[in-house]
Chain A
Amino acid sequence: MSSLSERILNAPAGEYVDRKVDRAFACDGTGMLALEAWKNMGASRLAGETEFSIFFDHIAPANNTTAATLQHELREFAKSSFMTFSDVGGGICHQLMGEGVVLPGEIVIGADSHSVTLGAFGAFASGVGATDMAAIWLTGETWLRVPESIGIHLEGRFAGAAEAKDLALAYVGELKTDGATYQAIEFIGDGSKNLSVDERMVLSNLSVEAGAKAGLFYADDVTVRYLKERGHAVKPQIPESCTYTRDLEFDLSDIVPLIAVPHRVDTIKPVDELAGLPLDQVFVGTCTNGRYSDLARLARIVRGKKVAVRTIVVPASAAVLAQAIRTGVLADIVDAGCTIGTPGCGPCLGAHMGVLGEEEVCLSTANRNFKNRMGVGGEIYLSSVATAAASALEGEITVPEVA
């Protein structure tokens, strides 16, 4: 009896294996270093069977001449080597790989820590650094230690104003930032079947904040339907009973709106304990919460009202932005006084547009609140979209109303 990681990697936990990578992707930041490493390896041709991609999302559009020049070099390389290439405004790598690209059972390696997001599709998806990516460009393979797995057992459905992000903060708060180091997390149980693909991506996304190598859902009817709508016929994965190193249980109906307070993702408090804390900025977006369902939720809450604090909204991809335009969600958001950024990572990593001033406080739907991440001296609180939206309207941390 095996975990999903063991099944996909076809070896028992603890074993070191070399595996062909089905899909490998890098972004503008890691890609430029990978390109340098690749050249220094003396390489000239990409490995044959892997699907390679490069996405410009971290500093896109470029904020200065150095970034633009480095991106120019990487863009030329991506085009001349016939990689799949997504330029400025296409969106976040994890989102684009999740819009009908990654399939159940695949081995997916991204040169970005949040590559674990794609475990939502029943793939083994994990992050590496730039030089590992260069070696995959060269060989089409990588080495992996097959991880042990932690089981997160889910029951029920969300009630009240809680959403997947609150559950994600709840489990990271329980596991702590290193609770899953070197291991995978599997989300199982009837409650997992009640979650949409978008919600699963939120839960898989945060798994790296507990140190996990991967965060996997078994592909089920929800996955099959989502991928069928995007032109793929896939089969569900049937879970086998297996032994986990640790078991966590959550009833979704017990989850309440939560916030991660500075400067740790695992320091979690109920929103009502922080209600009234003044904000300087609200940010809705990222590979955690920048999907269409997130923008639609934001629009539902701010529609016909005005935000009381600067609110930056960054769609996770061009497709998300286009859908928000078509359905009127974007107009509701802009009419409420929010501003819209280019699809991509936005201010999350503090490298461009939307960084904080000293002692400014931001409520963000992102996944990291490390010290100085969004600007020196700024403080980052992490929450769900509903909490961010309700708080934007009041200009202070506010408990979201039941939808």
Chain B
Amino acid sequence: MQTEGHAVCLPEDIDTDVVIAGRYLRTKDRSIWATHVFEDLDAGLAPRLKGAVIVAGKNFGCGSSREQAAIAIREAGVVAVIAPSFARIFFRNAVNVGLPLIEADISCTEGSPIKFNLAQGWVDVAGKRHSVSTLSPRMQEILAAGGLVPYWRRHR
């Protein structure tokens, strides 16, 4: 699993309608979600997400249960999302599709390098280390398996 990337800064209360709009939901073509991710926030954002670590404000992923939101972010090439808090369904969805989330309140500088280690619970932002809370053991297992589908393929 990749554990570093460049920061892309986003505001607080990003809702899942803004992550991927309702008009793009009825398909199973993941490339469509990756292309239109965050379109209503910033139509030029999607191409800049490859290898990015999103650093957002509080309550990231609020609103609908649409898992397409977490898939869209991952498929666009985002390495992880860091925010002070996440909406709980988005939190589960992200882990379930293998997108690492880090609960931390850090200031964001666009493009600055970020490294993280989820098991050890730290994030390096522009060379400065922040300790962060770790995920529950179950969530770490699911993430380590690459998501809930591979987790259950193995544990069934």
**A residues apposed to B, CB below 8 Å:** 16, 29-30, 32-33, 36-37, 40-43, 59, 63-64, 66-67, 70, 111-113, 127-132, 134-135, 138-139, 143, 145, 177-178, 181-182, 211, 213, 264, 349-351, 368, 370-373, 376
Residue of A nearest to B86 (CB): A181
Q: Decide if B67 is an interface residue (CB 8 Å cutoff).
A: yes
CA distance A36 to B40 in the complex (A): 27
Instruction: Contact check, B18 vs A66: say whether CB atoms are below 8 A apart.
Output: no
Residues of B within 8 A of A40 (CB): 149, 153
Interchain residue pairs with CB less than 8 A apart (25): A29-B25, A29-B26, A32-B28, A33-B68, A41-B153, A42-B152, A67-B26, A112-B65, A113-B63, A113-B64, A128-B65, A128-B92, A129-B70, A129-B92, A134-B149, A178-B13, A182-B88, A211-B62, A350-B21, A351-B26, A370-B63, A371-B17, A371-B40, A372-B18, A376-B40
Residues of A within 8 A of B87 (CB): 178, 181, 211
Instruction: Contact check, A181 vs B92: say whether CB atoms are below 8 A apart.
Output: no
Q: Decide if B123 is an interface residue (CB 8 Å cutoff).
A: no
Residues of A within 8 A of B138 (CB): 16, 143
Q: Decide if B15 is an interface residue (CB 8 Å cutoff).
A: yes
Instruction: Contact check, B17 vs A131: say whether CB atoms are below 8 A apart.
Output: no
Report the contact-size class of chain B (Cβ under 8 Å from the partner): 35 or more
Indicate whether A370 sits within 8 Å of B18 (C-beta atoms), given known contacts A111-B65, A181-B85: yes
Instruction: Contact check, B62 vs A130: say whether CB atoms are below 8 A apart.
Output: no
Residue of A nearest to B138 (CB): A143
Instruction: Contact check, A129 vs B88: say whether CB atoms are below 8 A apart.
Output: no
CB-contact partner of A177 in B13, B64, B148, under 8 A: B13
CB-contact partner of B22 in A30, A42, A213, A351, under 8 A: A351
Rounded to whole Å, the gap between the CB of A376 and the closest CB of chain B is: 7
Instruction: Contact check, A177 vs B62: say whether CB atoms are below 8 A apart.
Output: yes
Given contacts A182-B88, A376-B40, could you give 9 more A-B pairs where the C-beta distance is less than 8 Å?
A33-B67, A42-B156, A43-B156, A64-B26, A70-B27, A131-B93, A138-B152, A178-B87, A181-B86
Instruction: Contact check, A30 vs B67: say whether CB atoms are below 8 A apart.
Output: yes
Instruction: Contact check, B85 vs A129: say whether CB atoms are below 8 A apart.
Output: no
Residue of A nearest to B13 (CB): A177
CA distance A145 to B70 in the complex (A): 21
Rounded to whole Å, the gap between the CB of B73 and the closest CB of chain A is: 13
CB-contact partner of A181 in B15, B18, B59, under 8 A: B59
Residues of A within 8 A of B120 (CB): none
Instruction: Contact check, A132 vs B96: say whether CB atoms are below 8 A apart.
Output: yes
CB-contact partner of B65 in A66, A70, A113, A264, under 8 A: A113
Q: Decide if B58 is an interface residue (CB 8 Å cutoff).
A: yes
Residues of A within 8 A of B62 (CB): 177-178, 211
Residues of A within 8 A of B89 (CB): 113, 127-129
Rounded to whole Å, the gap between the CB of B105 and the closest CB of chain A is: 13
Instruction: Contact check, A129 vs B149: say whether CB atoms are below 8 A apart.
Output: no
Residues of B within 8 A of A128 (CB): 65, 89, 92-93
CA distance A135 to B148 in the complex (A): 8
Rounded to whole Å, the gap between the CB of B129 and the closest CB of chain A is: 26
Q: Decide if B100 is an interface residue (CB 8 Å cutoff).
A: no
Residues of A within 8 A of B17 (CB): 350, 368, 370-373
Instruction: Contact check, A59 vs B149: say whether CB atoms are below 8 A apart.
Output: no
Q: Decide if B97 is an interface residue (CB 8 Å cutoff).
A: yes
CA distance A64 to B152 in the complex (A): 33
Q: Decide if B5 is an interface residue (CB 8 Å cutoff).
A: no
Residues of B within 8 A of A370 (CB): 15, 17-18, 63
Residues of A within 8 A of B63 (CB): 113, 368, 370
CA distance A145 to B95 in the complex (A): 15
Q: Decide if B50 is an interface residue (CB 8 Å cutoff).
A: no
Instruction: Contact check, A351 vs B23: say whether CB atoms are below 8 A apart.
Output: yes
Residue of B nearest to A370 (CB): B17
CB-contact partner of B59 in A143, A177, A349, A372, under 8 A: A177
Residues of A within 8 A of B149 (CB): 37, 40-41, 131, 134
Residues of B within 8 A of A145 (CB): 136
Instruction: Contact check, B65 vs A351: say whether CB atoms are below 8 A apart.
Output: no
Q: Mark B117-154, 1 if CB is under 8 A from A, else 0.
A: 00000000000000000001010000000011100110
Rounded to whole Å, the gap between the CB of A55 and the closest CB of chain B is: 14
Rounded to whole Å, the gap between the CB of B94 and the closest CB of chain A is: 9
Instruction: Contact check, B88 vs A211: say whether CB atoms are below 8 A apart.
Output: yes
Rounded to whole Å, the gap between the CB of A37 and the closest CB of chain B is: 5
Residues of A within 8 A of B26 (CB): 29, 59, 63-64, 66-67, 70, 351
Residues of A within 8 A of B147 (CB): 131
Rounded to whole Å, the gap between the CB of A16 and the closest CB of chain B is: 6
